[in-house]
Structure 1
Amino acid sequence: MDIARDLADHDAPDRTVVRADIQTGGRGRYGRQWVSEAGNLYMTLLLREDRPLADCAQLSFAAALALYDAIGLPDVALKWPNDVLIGGKKTAGILLEAGGPATAPWILIGMGVNVAHHPPDAPYPATHLAQEAYAHEIDTLCRSVLEGIDRWRGIWHKQGAPSIHAAWLDKAHGRGQDIRVRLSSKEIVGRFETLDADGALVVLDKAGTRHRISAGDVFFA
């Protein structure tokens, strides 16, 4: 994403795409870093918006929906806040970064998709597309994802966040079930109910208290 950020700062146009065959400084949420070997899809999409920066977090849901559609396998599901699962195993992840003016920001959507392999030592179940009988070439997957982001971004522009949230919830893994959410200083256990208007996770604990969670790691029972 560093190359894409430099391009954004130097006025690269909307929908600029940066792809890598390997990553030696891959980055995820909370600054987690890793090395990514060849064979998977690693790309960052630069978008420019004319709306407040706070609203642009919804593009994470648009990207997740695009990945869901592009993969197209029967057991695909979405995990809050930014993962795509197959059979409950992580297959893809999304990272958003942003900058520029608060009223006309640029947004980087970084995406990593396990196509040919997945990390053997991941702290959660993981898989890759070749293992799940995905039959398309990596370039085809890339084009499908970008076309899907265009489509879901357009829906967000025309219909707003509720339409994106409704579509995402329809494909969400574990909705209505008990989950654990690990925060920086505690864990919350309860039922995954919905998303709020900003896309935060809403969890109902056994005491009847609803928790609005804007950042955390989700684990399923």
Structure 2
Amino acid sequence: MNWRFEYHETLGSTSDLCKIRAEAGEPEYLAVQAFSQTAGRGTRGRTWTDPGGNLAISLLFRPADPATFIAALPFLTAVALYETATHFCPSPVGPMPFMVKWPNDLLLDGRKMAGVLIETGGPQGRPWVVVGIGANLTQAPEIPGRRLAALSEKTAAPSAKAFGEILVAQIERWTTILTAQGFAPIRAAWLARAHPVGSRLAVQGCETYITGSFSGLDAQGRLLLTLPNGETIPVVTGDILLD
């Protein structure tokens, strides 16, 4: 893959620009990065605040098998984020502070350090996929009701450019593994970096709140939640709250 990096001092949203380029016919493997992002967003319409000095990058793909790629992409990206963070913080004191949370958040000491937003579009014969990634490197924004962390709490924060370059290399590596071996090795890598099986958690939806224990991922990447009555159910969507 020959990635084309495009850098901007300030953008409203790297993903919005990436989608504009995609709709205009831009080939895949475009990486749009902003060193300051003024209108970033997360899942379910949330805003992603960027105080500056953090990572804001979006990547354009045009996969040959969109369904398989899109299903694996959240887990692939989460593993790549984990490995990039540990690249810059390889020898922590005590237990490894990083952990992935279903499906694609990166936590630092139990607080969110990075998140992912995946968007799709384009004609059926030539679909595009844009993955937007935000990571707190130098500082975590203060958002009421949310517990956030920054990489600088553990090590000297790398530049956003350096972090982005390593992250894209990791995403490329895992994309190659997906193409050659399917979802199974990505699923295994994600589980090895996630909250342990048996962890107590809750799944919060728009009108639901379900508690149970984490029982792994199924072959499609759905979270398996074991309820207090012993029944195990697959979770397709929802906010995951860890005890």
TM-score tier, shorter chain, comes to over 0.9
Partners of 2:233 and 2:27 in 1: CA distance = 39
Residue range with higher mean Cα deviation, 20-29 or 138-147: 20-29
List aligned pairs for 1:24-63, cutoff 5 A.
Answer: 24-53=38-67, 55-63=69-77
Residue range with higher mean Cα deviation, 115-124 or 210-219: 115-124
- Name the CA shift for 1:122/1:48 in 2 (closer, same or farther; >3 Å): farther
List aligned pairs for 1:64-83, cutoff 5 A.
Answer: 64-72=78-86, 73=89, 74-83=96-105
User: How many residues align structurally?
Assistant: 221
- For the aligned residues, what is the CA RMSD? 1.6
Which residue, out of 7, 12, 18, partners 2:26?
A: 12
Q: What displacement does 1:216 show?
A: 0.6
Partners of 2:66 and 2:155 in 1: CA distance = 41
Partners of 1:215 and 1:77 in 2: CA distance = 19
Q: What displacement does 1:103 show?
A: 5.7
Aligned 8 A contact 1:71 1:134 in 2: no
Secondary structure of the equivalent of 1:127?
coil
Structure 2: gaps (5+ residues) = 1-14, 90-95
* Aligned match of 1:151: 173
Secondary structure of the equivalent of 1:147?
helix
Structure 1: gaps (5+ residues) = none
Which letter does structure 1 place at the counterpart of 2:99?
A
Partners of 1:22 and 1:41 in 2: CA distance = 8
Deviations 1:39-60 (A, max 9, x none): 1110100011011336423111
Give the share of equivalent positions with the same residue, in percent. 34
Secondary structure of the equivalent of 2:146?
coil
What TM-score comes out, normalization by structure 2 length? 0.86
* Aligned match of 1:186: 208
Residue 209 of structure 2 corresponds to residue 195 of structure 1: no
Residue 98 of structure 2 corresponds to residue 111 of structure 1: no
Partners of 1:36 and 1:125 in 2: CA distance = 15
Partners of 1:210 and 1:30 in 2: CA distance = 26
Which letter does structure 2 place at the counterpart of 1:18?
V
Which residue, out of 93, 113, 126, partners 1:91?
A: 113
Partners of 1:149 and 1:55 in 2: CA distance = 12
- Name the CA shift for 1:47/1:122 in 2 (closer, same or farther; >3 Å): farther
